[in-house]
Chains A and B, each alone.
Chain A
Amino acid sequence: MKSDRVFGLVAVLVALAYIASALQIQTSFLSDPVGSKTFPILIAAAAIVCGVSMIMKPDQEPDWPELNVLASLAFSVVILVGYAYALKPIGFLVPTAIVASVLSYQISPKPRFAVLAGFGLSLGLFVIFKYALGLSLAAFPKALMG
C-alpha cells in the first residue's frame, strides 16, 4: 500500500519537474507546428495520471528485504560502481576477481567457493574475451606492463 503511494507521489513530482524542464527547452529558428516541447509534456501529463492512479489505488505492499539485506544490496551497488571506475586504470584481472568474489559471497555465503569462483571467472572470462573473441582488454595496470 504505502510503497505504491510513495512511488506514485515521486512519479508525479518527477513528471512536474520534467514539464518545468521541458518549458525551458530552447527553440530554434527551425520550427514545426508541434515543436520540441509538446511531446515531452504529453508524456509527463500521462505519467501524472498514472502516478495519481497509483496513489488512489495502490496494490498490496511488496515484501521489502530486511535492513541487513538492503545494506548488502547497497554495498553491492557501491562495489559495482567502484568496479566501473577501476576497469580502465587497474586492468581487468584484479578488479574482476575481487568483485566477482564479493558478489558470489553475497549470493551464497561460502567463502572458499566465492574466492575460487572470483578467480576462475576472472581468468576464464579474460581468456575468452581476449583470445577467443579478440576484445582489447588490459590484464594489469598500464604502469606495470611498461
Chain B
Amino acid sequence: MDILANLAIGFDIALSPYTFMLAVIGCFLGTIIGALPGLGPSNGVAILIPITFTLGLDAVAALVLLTSVYYGAMYGGRISSILLNIPGDEPAMMTTLDGFPMAKNGRAGDALVISGVASFVGALLATIGLMLLAPMLARVAYLFGPAEYFALYLLAFSTLGGIASKNQAKAALASCVGLGIAMIGLDNTTGMPRFTGGNMHLMDGVDFLVAIVGLFAVSEVFVFIESHGKDSAVGVKLDKVTIPYREIWQTRWTMIRSSVVGFIAGVLPGAGASLGSFLTYMMEKSIAGEKGGFGTGVAKGVAAPEAGNNAAAGGALVPMLTLGVPGSGTTAVLLAVLMTLNITPGPTLFTDRPDVVWGLIASLLIANFVLLAMNVPMVKVFVRILSVPPALLLPGVTMISFVGIYSLSGSYFDLVLMIAFGVMGYVFRKLDIPTVPVILGILLGNQMEDNLRRAMVLSDGDWTFLFSSAIANGLWIAAVLGFVAPLFLRRFLKKPELTED
C-alpha cells in the first residue's frame, strides 16, 4: 500500500514535537480567529502569512501552522453564529439558521457540542477523502498540458463568478481587475516592463500578499468604522456544557451525508465551503420535510451545515494541491502561502515533495483531534473571546497587518498600496462586487497567460489547439456551464436570509 507508506512518512514529520506544537498553536489561533466576528479564515490566515515568513519557518512548518489555522477557523466560525447570531465567517452563515434559535431556547451548550462533533466528522472524512483522492487526481493532472491548464484556470474563474456571487457581470469584472493587476510588472516571456508607468516599485509586479491583506483585513476596519461596531449584538449566555450523546447519535447519518456532499462541493474549483454548507443544509431540510422543524433550532440543522462546511474546507485542498487551482477564498490565500514558499502546487508536488504533502495530511488528521478537544470540552474558553470589543480588535488587526507587510518588504510603497487595496475592498463590498476573484486573478494571472502563450508556441499560433483534447474540451464546457447555469438556477435556489430577532 502506497498510501500507508506515505502516511508513515507524514506522521513521522507531523509527530515531531516541533511540528506538533505548531499544529496545536495553529488550531488554537484558528479557533479564536474563526470565533471573532470580523475575522474569518481568509483574513485570519492573510494577516498571519507575512509574520510566518518573517519568522523564517521552513515550508512544512509554515504550511502546517497556516492550514491548522484554516481548519481551526472553520471550527471556530460556528461559535459566534450560535451565540451571537453573527456568522464568524461566511460559510458559518447557515449555522445561524438553527444554531441561534437553539441557543435562545436555552440549549446553547448542546448546539455548540453537536456542531463541534459535526465539524469533526466533516473535517475527518474530508481529510481521508483528500488522502485518497488527491494522489489519484495528481496522476490525471500529468495529462494536463498548457491548453488544459488555460481552460482549467478559466473554469475556476467562471465557477467562482457563477456560483459564489449574485451578479455574474460583477464577479467577472472582479476577475478582470485581478488579472489586469497581475499583468503589471515584467513580462515573463520577453522581460519587458508592462503597465509600470516607469515606477521602479512596480517592476516586480504587485505582491499578492499586499493585495490579500489589504482587501481582506484593512477593508474590514473601514466597514466597522462605518457601522460604529453597532452589529455587536448582545448574545446568548452559555451556562453549562453537557454532551447530548443521544442527539449526536441521532444525527449520525446527517453528518455523514453532509460530509460527502460538502467534500464534493469543496473539490469543485471555485465553489468552496459556503456552497458546501448551503447545499447540505438545503438537502437535510428537504429530507426532514415539514416535520423536521428546520429553522426552529433542531440538532440536524446545526449538524448539517457544520459537517458540510468543514468537509468542503478539506475538499477545497484537493484541487489546490494537485492542480494549483484554489476552490475558495481561503484556499486562494493558502495557494499564496505555497507560492511564497516557492512550492509549485501540481502533480509534481506529490513526487518531488512527498514530505510537504504527506506531512500536511498527517498534521491535518492530528489537528482534527486537537480541535475536537478544544471545541468540545474547552469551548467555554473560546466563548470568553467573543466579548473582545471591535474597538480593540480591529485597530489590533490593522497594526498587525502593517507590521506584517512592513517587515516583509520594508517599503512605504507596499504599505500605501495595501491601504489602497483596503479602500478598494470597502468600495467593492459596498457595490456587492466579490473580492475573492480579484485575489484569484492576481495569483493566477501570470500562469494563465504563460500557459496560453506556451500553448500557442506549441501549436505555432493555431488557436484551435486550445480545443484539441478531450480534457480541455470538457473543461471549456464545464466553464461555460458553470458561468451560465446559475443564471437559470438562481430562481430555484434562493439563499435564506439571516434570521431576525
Show the binding face of A for B, using Cβ within 8 Å: 3-4, 7, 11, 15, 18, 21-22, 25-28, 30-34, 36, 39-40, 43-44, 46-47, 49-51, 53-54, 57, 59, 62, 64-65, 69, 72-73, 76-77, 80-81, 83-85, 87-88, 92, 96, 99-101, 103-110, 113-114, 117-118, 120-122, 125, 129, 133-137
Question: Which of B183, B389, B426 interacts with A108 by CB under 8 Å?
Answer: B389
Could you show 26 A-B contacts with beta carbons less than 8 Å apart?
Answer: A3-B431, A15-B176, A22-B194, A22-B195, A30-B189, A32-B453, A32-B457, A33-B457, A36-B189, A40-B180, A40-B183, A47-B173, A62-B430, A64-B430, A65-B226, A77-B222, A81-B416, A83-B402, A92-B403, A101-B395, A107-B394, A107-B395, A108-B389, A108-B391, A125-B396, A129-B403
- Report the Cα distance A43→B177, complex, angstroms: 8
* Least CB distance, A94 to chain B, in whole angstroms: 13
| Minimum C-beta distance from A26 to chain B (A) | 5
Per CB-CB distance, the 10 closest pairs between chain A and chain B, nearest first, are A33-B461, A84-B415, A50-B173, A47-B176, A100-B395, A53-B169, A108-B391, A103-B395, A28-B190, A39-B449
Residue of B nearest to A48 (CB): B176
Which residues of the other chain, B, contact A73 by a CB distance below 8 angstroms? 222, 225-226, 426
Residue of B nearest to A132 (CB): B55
Q: Are A44 and B180 in contact (CB under 8 A)?
A: yes
**CA distance in complex: A100, B400 (Å):** 11
| A-side contacts of B348, CB under 8 Å | none
Q: Is the CB of B395 within 8 A of A104?
A: yes
Q: Please, which residues of chain B bring their CB within 8 A of the CB of A77? A: 222, 419, 423
Measured in the bound complex, the distance between the Cα atoms of B340 and A108 in whole Å is: 37
Nearest-neighbor residue (CB-CB) of A4 within chain B: B431
Q: Among residues 209 to 239 in chain B, which have CB atoms less than 8 Å away from a CB atom of chain A?
A: 218, 221-222, 224-226, 228-229
Pair B226/A54 contact, Cβ less than 8 Å: no
Decide if A39 touches B452 in the complex (CB within 8 Å): yes
**B residues near A11, Cβ cutoff 8 Å:** 173
Q: Confirm or deny: B492 has a beta carbon within 8 angstroms of a beta carbon on chain A.
A: no
CB within 8 Å of A: which B407-452 residues:
407, 412, 415-416, 419, 422-423, 426, 430-432, 448-449, 452
Using a CB–CB cutoff of 8 Å, the interface residues on chain B facing chain A are: 51, 54-55, 166-167, 169-170, 172-173, 176-177, 179-180, 183, 187, 189-195, 218, 221-222, 224-226, 228-229, 389-392, 394-396, 398-400, 402-403, 406-407, 412, 415-416, 419, 422-423, 426, 430-432, 448-449, 452-453, 456-457, 460-461
Residue from A51, A72, A84 having most chain B Cβ neighbours under 10 A = A84
Q: Do the beta carbons of A80 and B419 come within 8 Å of each other? A: yes
C-alpha gap A118/B173 in the complex (Å): 39
Instruction: Find chain B residues with CB under 8 A from A114 CB.
Output: 391
Closest to B459 in A: A33
Q: Nearest CB to that of B419 among chain A residues? A: A80
A110 CB, nearest partner CB in chain B, Å:
7
Give the residue of A43, A65, A125 whose beta carbon is less than 8 angstroms from that of B399: A125
Q: Is the CB of A44 within 8 A of B394?
A: no
Distance between B63 CB and nearest chain A CB, rounded to angstroms: 18
Partner of A117, one of B172, B395, B403, B432: B395
A62 & B432 in contact (Cβ 8 Å cutoff): yes
- Whether A46 contacts B399 in the complex (CB less than 8 A), given A33-B456, A62-B430, A84-B412, comes out as no
In the assembled complex, the Cα of A76 lies from the Cα of B426 at a distance in Å of 13
- List B contacts of A4 (CB < 8 A): 431
Known: A28-B190, A84-B416, A108-B389. A100 touches B399 (CB 8 A): yes
